[in-house]
Amino acid sequence: MKNIRHIFFDLDNTLWDHRNNAYLTLKEIYKRENVQEKYNLGFEDFHREYFTINERLWAQIRDGEIDKDYLRKHRFYDSFLFFGIDDFDLAQVFEHNFLDEILNYNDLVEGAFELLEYLSEKGYTLHILSNGFKEVTYRKCELSGIQNYFQTITSADELNVRKPQPEIYEYALKKANAKKEESIMIGDDWIADVEGALSFGIDAVFFDVFKDNFGNDEVKVIRELKELQKFL
């Protein structure tokens, strides 16, 4: 990757450990709201179903089937409803507290700091391109201590278009003053980050952090962030 100057990172589960931070946040809210005592539902069972539903809804947002308001109304409500708990008010308590309180937990994916330091020292210009909500994307970068590594931080909310759509890639590259042939996208979502980048005309690396085993002969796949140092 000789000509690469600009590196675009996805944020959640690529650098910022969303899966673990969300787990800790929800466990705290669950305990505070006495859900197990009220409904005889253990947290681990709830979280397992919530994770499945939330992932599906985010895929629907990515594919343009729903908007973020729909997700915010349904991810907790549908999770409780799966267990026969029809309590919209409780679901909204979770929703209204979740985005604020998740910022109390800012664990990064293993090796994130070390990689960003390495790439900065090598002279690469770094950027964030996230499908996450704008109101928390910037705060995640700030509170986790990685904000200053990035020249630009782009949330799909700025354009109301999400990866893998080419418009968000075009917007991010223009904002970064970057050329396609000098840019690469790194992320954990095969469709949004890899297929989206390749379709737009920039190179991509798939961070298979959850061992989804997607891949092809044309795309470099890593399981740990430190592996990027082999070719960047």
Instruction: Mark whether 210 and 144 lie in a shared domain.
Output: yes
Instruction: Mark whether 197 and 125 lie in a shared domain.
Output: yes
Out of 85, 104, 123, pick the residue that ends a domain: 104
Instruction: Mark whether 47 and 120 lie in a shared domain.
Output: no
Residue 99, pLDDT score = 87
- Residue 178 belongs to some domain of the structure: yes
Count of domains observed in the chain:
2
Do the Cβ atoms of 225 and 111 come closer than 8 Å? yes
Measure the CA–CA gap between 175 and 213, rounded to whole angstroms.
32
Instruction: Mark whether 98 and 132 lie in a shared domain.
Output: no
Do the Cβ atoms of 49 and 25 come closer than 8 Å? no
- Residue 171 belongs to some domain of the structure: yes
For residue range 59-89, what is the model confidence (pLDDT) as tens digits? 999 988 999 899 999 999 999 999 999 999 9
Residue 74, pLDDT score = 97
For the chain, which residues score pLDDT lower than 50?
none
| Structural domain harbouring 200 | 6-16+108-230
Instruction: Mark whether 150 and 60 lie in a shared domain.
Output: no
Measure the CA–CA gap between 194 and 43, rounded to whole angstroms.
34
Out of 104, 123, 153, pick the residue that ends a domain: 104
Give 3-state DSSP helix, strand, coil % of the chain, rounded to 5. 55, 15, 30
Nearest to 229 by CA among 122, 141, 136: 122
Place of tokens 């509170």: 143
- Residue 1 belongs to some domain of the structure: no
Q: Phi/psi zone of residue 108: left (φ > 0), alpha (ψ -120 to 50 degrees), beta?
A: beta
3-state SS class at 50: helix
- Residue 188 belongs to some domain of the structure: yes
- Report residue 188 CA to chain centroid gap: 8
- Residue 211 belongs to some domain of the structure: yes
Do the Cβ atoms of 8 and 130 come closer than 8 Å? no
Residue 86, pLDDT score = 98
Instruction: Mark whether 99 and 114 lie in a shared domain.
Output: no
Instruction: Mark whether 12 and 89 lie in a shared domain.
Output: no
Residue 217, pLDDT score = 77
Instruction: Mark whether 70 and 137 lie in a shared domain.
Output: no
Measure the CA–CA gap between 119 and 12, rounded to whole angstroms.
19
HSE-up of residue 41 (Cα within 13 Å, Cβ side) = 20
- Residue 179 belongs to some domain of the structure: yes
Sort strands 150-155 and 220-222 into parallel, antiparallel or unpaired. unpaired
Out of 104, 131, 150, pick the residue that ends a domain: 104
Q: Which helix (H) or strand (E) holds 55?
A: helix 43-62
Residue 154, pLDDT score = 97
- Residue 25 belongs to some domain of the structure: yes
